[in-house]
Structure 1
């Protein structure tokens, strides 16, 4: 069963994202605009993950480009990265934004914004599409920008919130790249491609 989760998690996330967004008028009744802008970041991310991971496209793309054909990202790694570093992180950030300080929501904002920047930089560098590029541009840029603006005008955002949020977003993406490069190196030293 866990193998099926590794292979098909993005479809459940996509459907959950659509359902959460469809329920937003009911769920968000009485919420501040700022908190609502933070809350929708996770279901928006889930829509992006469908474009990115449908048919195992992102993993195969990374294995081809960064891994030079070696399996630097396994289905299990993709699952852990996306569930742990996106879903769990965004849920925690959303709870903290609700219960502690809206400024904490900037961690989810920067996670999304940096992902969009990475997709766009990759497309510019390779002069080609990469899995997730369209939703990174069409969804991530406007939604992360709007959420950041809402947090800022609410007065909740401090310089520390921006720095911490930015560092979290950078760290998550740096860890993924470092993992893939370390795995590529380890596989190369063993003379393995998989």
Structure 2
């Protein structure tokens, strides 16, 4: 069953639906004047970002392997299975956990926002470096703007000890991205 969902990024067919459901739920539950809204807005935005990357128009795996890594056709550093696990565990599960932890402390929303900022920045940097669209760039550009504002709102209105949250969040996410990079660049 997991092979079916991983193969050809079949899991990504769920992302536009999940994004639509979560954005409706977000607007029904919170108002854009609420700090919690800005802590959670990246969840539906990230689902739409994954739609662009992996479903429509898709092609992120091939773009990463051919353009970013310069691998010949047939060689893959990033496989369907890796794409599946990265997106289900690192994004869906982590965003769910940190989204729920926002109830305890809104600072956990900052983790979601900073993760999104880091991911969006890589898409934007790649677009500038190669002077071309890459799968996920359009949503990353929009999401980057929402994330910057979300970071401001959470920092200014939501958390105590903002410097501690920023430093610990950035260090934690650097560690996560380093592990992710090692995982992606490792053998099949």
Same fold by TM-score, threshold 0.5 exceeded? yes
Distance 2:186 2:26 in 1: 41
Corresponding residue number in structure 1 for 2:103: 98
Aligned counterpart in structure 1 of residue 13 of structure 2, from 11, 14, 24: 11
- Counterpart Cα distance in 2 of 1:159 and 1:22: 32
The 5 A counterparts of 1:103-142 are: 103-138=107-142, 140-142=143-145
For residues 158 and 37 of structure 2, the distance between their equivalents in structure 1, rounded to whole angstroms, comes to 16
Quick check: 1:114–1:170 contact (8 Å CA) kept in 2?
no
> Normalising to structure 2: TM-score of the pair?
0.86
Instruction: Return the TM-score normalized by structure 1.
Output: 0.84
Unaligned runs of 5+ in 1: 188-194
Computing the radius of gyration over CA atoms, which structure comes out larger, 1 or 2?
Answer: 1
CA distance in 2, matches of 1:40, 1:121: 23
The 8 Å contact of residues 111 and 170 in structure 1, kept in 2 or not, is answered as no
Which is further off, 37-46 or 161-170? 161-170
Shift of residue 150 of structure 1? 1.3
Q: Give the counterpart of 2:86 among 76, 81, 86.
A: 81
**Measured at CA, do residues 119 and 25 of structure 1 come closer, stay the same or move farther in structure 2, by a change above 3 Å?**
closer
Measured after TM superposition, the shift of residue 91 of structure 1 is: 1.2
Q: Report if the CA contact (8 A) 2:54-2:135 is conserved.
A: yes
1:20 aligned residue = 22
Separation in 2 of the partners of 1:104 and 1:85? 15
* C-alpha deviation, 1:93, in angstroms: 1.1
Root-mean-square deviation (CA), in Å? 2.1
Partner of 1:98: helix, strand, or coil?
coil
Q: Which blocks of at least 5 consecutive residues in structure 2 are unaligned? A: none
